[in-house]
Amino acid sequence: MSYKAMSHRDVLHFINGEYTPGTSGLTFENICPVDGQVIGRVHEGKRDEVDAAVQAARAALKGPWGRMSMAERGEILHRVADGITARFDEFLEAECLDTGKPRSLASHIDIPRGAANFKIFADLVKNVPEESFHLATPDGAGAQNYGIRVPKGVIGVISPWNLPLLLMTWKVGPALACGNTVVVKPSEETPLTTALLGEVMNDAGVPKGVYNVVHGFGPDSAGAYLTEHPGVDAITFTGETRTGTAIMKAAAVGVRDVSFELGGKNPAIVFADCDLDKAIEGTMRSVFANCGQVCLGTERVFVERPIFDEFVARLRQGAEGLKLGRPEDETVNMGPLISKEHQKKVLGYYDLARELGATVVTGGGVPDMPEDLRGGAWVEPTIWTGLGDDSPIMKEEIFGPCCHISPFDSEEEVIERANDTVYGLASAVWTENMSRGHRVAAQIECGICWVNSWFLRDLRTAFGGSKQSGIGREGGVHSLEFYTELRNICVKL
Ligand code: NAD
């Protein structure tokens, strides 16, 4: 499918193996954030569409999917991954149309990692041992206990717009590998790759009803109806902490399990003994990659005083060297924000920082883009200094290409300041003193702390957030904790 054909296509729900407009009769515009052009219409699902998808998913649990061995399911999931790879260019175009992110980024991260999620979890579930305990009994014969893992059932998957295919498959991959069926509600901003995946599922031989997609918004739309639906056994969600709170309330009815990957206000700590080239290169990525719309991204940078001025000057130089433009331009390394609405939010923080007396080291506004891009959701890469730790700029997640840089004087001080947040998702520590690296990393309250790196992910490791950044861990065997029930069988001998 060409870029153009994709862009003008209606985006339909995918229910029970078939594309359908549903019955609500409602659609909404899909807008490309690069230039503000309408690229298609998306069908909005309400209660009926969600109900049809959940029923299809429930039926599929009892169908061939439920009777397949783990190995058979694994083979099919490998074919899903291969199917994404075979249609790499279509997925790439779809993702770039929806998000505006540079192709160089999406071709390196979003699409290949999105495909890999199916293979990795299909292989992983086969290698997890089950527990067994022998129990002595008064009659001397004993009893043997052993655990088996069974699928949890129908999983509701609610995903965000910043890494659409990657974060959705990060949930759908393990859910299916464990034998569940899913109903996915992708972000209203980025429906295309989730929709396209339906075709790949069919081609790979995934039985009908195993993978379902309903498009729409959150409240009073597909998202809320999915989380409220009593036929959904568990909900996995990535998005804002506030949305997580609403979903948790819905999940409480029927006491359904949740797995949440939520917002962050992540610190980077740069010690004077770091390798400054590496620290600048890593911080450039952690602040500006994906136009700052990465949950793991850095918004608070703490730099030890002796190198503060040099660090600020070099990060500024890097930020001013970023090239903004169309996804297909290979020289571009920063795209727009996801939407005009998000642009308004980020620019609100840019104004607030100025009003609060921040020193604007660079950026702080809307860049002067060529005529054909003026309708896009562009913002300048921005760096501030001079604000206190209590400022809203230091407390609230902005989710844009911006950071505040503060000086610090001691290890104890910076650990306390880095932890002074309601969030606890990720952090980065830059030092060539490895004793310090280990020591500091262990004291940062977060789910993942990188030392001398950022976004270096081993999918076998636990991923998630502490404090208000999430509930539970996914990744590796930890995904099994959420996507399966551990059933104990006790046999009296
Ligand atoms: P969001 O919370 O606005 O939306 C996420 C999804 O939830 C969308 O599909 C949306 O339609 C749906 N939704 C909204 N309200 C709902 C409701 N009441 N009931 C059910 N569904 C509802 O988040 P976003 O703006 O798409 O994504 C950005 C946020 O996601 C940031 O806060 C970012 O930090 C976070 N995020 C976290 C991680 C992580 O791993 N911790 C990863 C990526 C993004």
Place of tokens 């292989």: 123
Any atom of ligand 1 within 6 Å of the Cβ of 261: yes
State the closest ligand 1 atom to the C-alpha of 250, by its place in the atom list counted from 1: 19
* Confidence grade of residue 2 (pLDDT, cut at 50, 70, 90): very low
Output the CA 242–ligand 1 centroid distance in Å. 9
391 assigned to some structural domain: yes
Element (H, E) at 236: strand 234-238
Any atom of ligand 1 within 6 Å of the Cβ of 397: yes
Place of tokens 């409480």: 252
**Closest C-alpha to ligand 1, atom 39:** 261
Any atom of ligand 1 within 6 Å of the Cβ of 260: no
Which amino acid would we find at residue 177? A
162 assigned to some structural domain: yes
Q: Same structural domain for residues 243 and 360?
A: no
Q: Same structural domain for residues 192 and 76?
A: yes
| 6 has pLDDT over 70 | no
- For residue 78, give the CATH number of its domain: 3.40.605.10
27 assigned to some structural domain: yes
Q: What average pLDDT does range 32-60 have in this prediction?
A: 97
Any atom of ligand 1 within 6 Å of the Cβ of 243: yes
Inter-residue contact 276 to 307 (CB < 8 Å): yes
Q: Same structural domain for residues 93 and 110?
A: yes
In this prediction, residue 3 carries a pLDDT of 36
Query: How many CB atoms sit inside 10 A of residue 17's CB?
Result: 17
Q: Same structural domain for residues 304 and 218?
A: no
**Closest C-alpha to ligand 1, atom 1:** 239
In this prediction, residue 137 carries a pLDDT of 98
Alpha-carbon distance of 424 to 413, in angstroms, equals 18
Alpha-carbon distance of 262 to 250, in angstroms, equals 17
Alpha-carbon distance of 77 to 84, in angstroms, equals 11
- In tens, the pLDDT along 356-378 reads 999 999 999 999 999 999 999 99
* Beta strand pairing call for 38-43 and 27-31: antiparallel
275 assigned to some structural domain: yes
**Closest C-alpha to ligand 1, atom 34:** 263
Q: Same structural domain for residues 258 and 272?
A: no
Q: Same structural domain for residues 332 and 290?
A: yes
Alpha-carbon distance of 75 to 443, in angstroms, equals 42
Q: Same structural domain for residues 281 and 147?
A: no
Any atom of ligand 1 within 6 Å of the Cβ of 399: yes
pTM of the model: 0.96
- Lay out the sheet containing 402-408: strands in order across: 359-362, 382-385, 402-408, 298-304, 266-270, 426-430, 448-451
Q: Same structural domain for residues 62 and 168?
A: yes
Buried b (16+ CB within 10 A) or exposed e, 390-403: ebebbebbbbbbbb
| 135 has pLDDT over 60 | yes
Any atom of ligand 1 within 6 Å of the Cβ of 236: no
Q: What average pLDDT does range 337-356 have in this prediction?
A: 98
State the closest ligand 1 atom to the C-alpha of 163, by its place in the atom list counted from 1: 43
Q: What average pLDDT does range 453-459 have in this prediction?
A: 94
421 assigned to some structural domain: yes
In this prediction, residue 1 carries a pLDDT of 39
Q: Same structural domain for residues 223 and 296?
A: no
Any atom of ligand 1 within 6 Å of the Cβ of 28: no
Six token digits for residue 120? 């990795």
**Angle made by CA atoms 345, 351, 354, in degrees to the nearest 5:** 145
In this prediction, residue 4 carries a pLDDT of 40
State the closest ligand 1 atom to the C-alpha of 425, by its place in the atom list counted from 1: 41
State the closest ligand 1 atom to the C-alpha of 187, by its place in the atom list counted from 1: 9
Q: Which residues are catalytic?
A: 261, 295
463 assigned to some structural domain: no
Q: Same structural domain for residues 345 and 206?
A: no
On average, the pLDDT of the chain sits at 96
In this prediction, residue 404 carries a pLDDT of 98
Inter-residue contact 408 to 302 (CB < 8 Å): yes
Q: What average pLDDT does range 144-165 have in this prediction?
A: 98
- In tens, the pLDDT along 69-84 reads 999 999 999 999 999 9
Any atom of ligand 1 within 6 Å of the Cβ of 218: yes
Inter-residue contact 164 to 110 (CB < 8 Å): yes
Name the percent of the chain lying above pLDDT 70.
98
- For residue 327, give the CATH number of its domain: 3.40.309.10
- In tens, the pLDDT along 183-225 reads 999 999 999 999 999 999 999 999 999 999 999 999 999 999 9
Output the CA 145–ligand 1 centroid distance in Å. 41
Best substitution site from 170, 243, 337, 474 to test ligand 1's pocket, by max atoms within 8 Å of Cβ?
Answer: 243
464 assigned to some structural domain: no
Q: Same structural domain for residues 278 and 390?
A: yes
Inter-residue contact 222 to 216 (CB < 8 Å): yes
In this prediction, residue 470 carries a pLDDT of 97
76 assigned to some structural domain: yes
Q: Same structural domain for residues 256 and 307?
A: no
Burial of 188 (0-12, 13-18, 19+ CB in 10 A): buried
Any atom of ligand 1 within 6 Å of the Cβ of 262: yes
Query: How many CB atoms sit inside 10 A of residue 59's CB?
Result: 17
**Closest C-alpha to ligand 1, atom 22:** 218
Best substitution site from 47, 101, 158 to test ligand 1's pocket, by max atoms within 8 Å of Cβ?
Answer: 158
Any atom of ligand 1 within 6 Å of the Cβ of 223: yes
3-state helix, strand, coil in the chain (%, to 5): 40, 20, 35
Q: Which domain holds residue 194?
A: 3-262+469-492
DSSP 291: G
Alpha-carbon distance of 175 to 236, in angstroms, equals 10
Output the CA 38–ligand 1 centroid distance in Å. 23
* Confidence grade of residue 345 (pLDDT, cut at 50, 70, 90): very high
In this prediction, residue 5 carries a pLDDT of 43
Domain count for the chain, please give it: 2
